[in-house]
DNA sequence: CTTGATAATGATTTTCAGTTTCATTATAAT
DNA sequence: ATTATAATGAAACTGAAAATCATTATCAAG
């Protein structure tokens, strides 16, 4: 009996994004041994339907409007699952809470990085220079992987500073 | 009398690191209207005397050994001051606590970036590829500053993944 | 050396994002 | 339908960080 559990765990662990598994989209949830339940679908919908940088509570509130029964706990749990699986990125912009973003946005709000204003906490997404960055990052990743035997799964680049509005005062 | 206060405030505000002021080292504390007190000196000493990535509480404990009277509150406050002034960098490596590093380490443990193992939370500092990174970053910063009227004060690059030790199991 | 204005400190309290627990419910396979 | 297991949510808990506030240290001016 116990053995069976272990085997199941192995099966559902393999395709995860600790580097080896391919990232998968919404429909492929089940392929990893997870169930695409109503709460999980609702949370994905919220993430897919916004370009903002939502916190767990933001997401909870949005989900709550449609499905009042879904609790904050589930939101946290699901987000962790999504982050672990590579479907969602988790960011820290320096205020006390984490922000979440779909890693592959269906609406084609492609890959971007962030400018963070340390005064007003505004976040500016930018896509310029991404190509050059990507280039360097890939090179760096290869070098680092080799030198440190480190299997890189993802990276964060963020610029901090003062935005236009805050500079003007 | 009130006017006098306002002038003082302005004087101590100017040299800060919201971009315009030059960064300054330990001795230059007073130049910004701040007092280099015993607790502050002690905290700086701890930061200068380690290559680790200490949390606020780590720092508190180390300071506490030498100066048992210095409280956790002061550590938090001082760290915030140091971060605001640009003397110290604050990092988030994904565990629940912030980590602090002197931005210009006197021991010449020059500028570096971080590899974060998401399994064991080990942090690897690396300096390789920094030059290439610096190049690109400067270019990017210039471009972004211009396009978005954003005054960039600093940046964070971090790679996440699984380290050698954790890969082996 | 006082004195007075102000900045800094530290004990304590409070906050609040995030976790854990656990009893219950939903799901998928047999 | 039955059973094994995964998912859920209410509530209690945790812990890092911030806020409060009475006290103390510092510095500049007389």
Instruction: Count how many Cα atoms sit within 13 Å of the Cα of residue A73 in the half-sphere of its side chain.
Output: 1
CA proximity to A113, closest of A133, A94, A84: A133
| pLDDT tens track for A65-81 | 999 999 999 999 999 99
How many structural domains are present in chain B?
A: 2
Instruction: Judge if A119 and A62 occupy the same domain.
Output: no
Domain limits for position B141: 111-169
Instruction: Judge if A90 and A34 occupy the same domain.
Output: yes
pLDDT of residue B107: 61
Instruction: Judge if B12 and B90 occupy the same domain.
Output: yes
Cα A57 from Cα A61, distance rounded (Å): 6
Single residue among B86, B106, B126 that ends a domain in this structure: B106
Instruction: Judge if A44 and A78 occupy the same domain.
Output: yes
pLDDT of residue A158: 93
Please, which residues bridge with residue A55 across strands? Answer: A99
Instruction: Judge if B96 and B123 occupy the same domain.
Output: no
DSSP, residue by residue, chain A: -HHHHHHHHHHHHTTSTTTTSPP--GGGGGGGT----HHHHHHHHHHHT--S-EEHHHHHHHHHHH-TT--HHHHHHHHHHHHHHTSEEEEE-SSSSEEEEESS-TT-----EEEEETTT--EEEE-TTHHHHHHHHHHHHHHHHHHHT-EEEEEEEEEEEE-HHHHT-
- Residue A167: which pLDDT band, with cuts at 50, 70 and 90? confident
Cα A100 from Cα A60, distance rounded (Å): 12
Residue A1, in any domain of the structure: no
Instruction: Judge if A120 and A48 occupy the same domain.
Output: no
Tell if B9 CB is < 7 Å from nucleic strand C: yes
> Quick one: closest CA in B to A84, which residue?
B118
Instruction: Judge if A133 and A100 occupy the same domain.
Output: no
Single residue among B106, B123, B142 that ends a domain in this structure: B106
Instruction: Count how many Cα atoms sit within 13 Å of the Cα of residue B32 in the half-sphere of its side chain.
Output: 24
Instruction: Judge if A91 and A32 occupy the same domain.
Output: yes
Instruction: Judge if A41 and A97 occupy the same domain.
Output: yes
- Residue B132: which pLDDT band, with cuts at 50, 70 and 90? confident
- Tell me if A140 and B152 make a contact (CB, 8 A cut-off): no
- Residue A61: which pLDDT band, with cuts at 50, 70 and 90? very high
Q: What is the CATH number of the domain that holds B159?
A: 3.30.1490.190
Instruction: Judge if B14 and B36 occupy the same domain.
Output: yes
- Contacting residues of A for B155, CB less than 8 Å apart: 157-160
First to last CA, chain B: 69
Instruction: Judge if B54 and B67 occupy the same domain.
Output: yes
Taking an 8 Å Cβ-Cβ cutoff, which residues of chain A contact chain B? 18-19, 92, 94, 115, 117-119, 124, 126, 128-129, 132-133, 136, 139-141, 143-145, 147-164, 167
Instruction: Judge if A31 and A98 occupy the same domain.
Output: yes
DSSP, residue by residue, B116-130: EETTT--EEEE-TTH
Single residue among A94, A109, A124 that ends a domain in this structure: A109
């Amino acid at each position: 009996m116990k053995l069976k559990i272990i085997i199941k765990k192995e099966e559902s662990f393999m395709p995860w994004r600790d580097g080896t598994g391919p990232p998968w989209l919404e429909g492929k949830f089940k392929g990893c041994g997870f169930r695409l339940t109503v709460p999980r679908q609702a949370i994905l919908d919220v993430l897919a339907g916004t370009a903002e940088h939502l916190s767990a509570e933001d997401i909870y509130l949005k989900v709550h409007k449609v499905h009042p029964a879904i609790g904050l706990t589930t939101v946290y749990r699901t987000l962790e699952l999504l982050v672990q699986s590579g479907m969602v990125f988790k960011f820290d912009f320096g205020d006390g809470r984490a922000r979440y973003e779909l890693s592959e946005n269906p609406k084609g709000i492609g890959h971007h990085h962030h400018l963070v204003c340390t005064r007003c906490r505004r976040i500016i997404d930018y896509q310029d220079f991404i190509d050059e960055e990507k280039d360097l990052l890939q090179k760096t990743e290869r070098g680092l992987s080799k030198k440190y035997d480190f299997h890189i799964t993802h990276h964060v680049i963020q610029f901090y500073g003062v935005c236009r509005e805050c500079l003007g005062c």
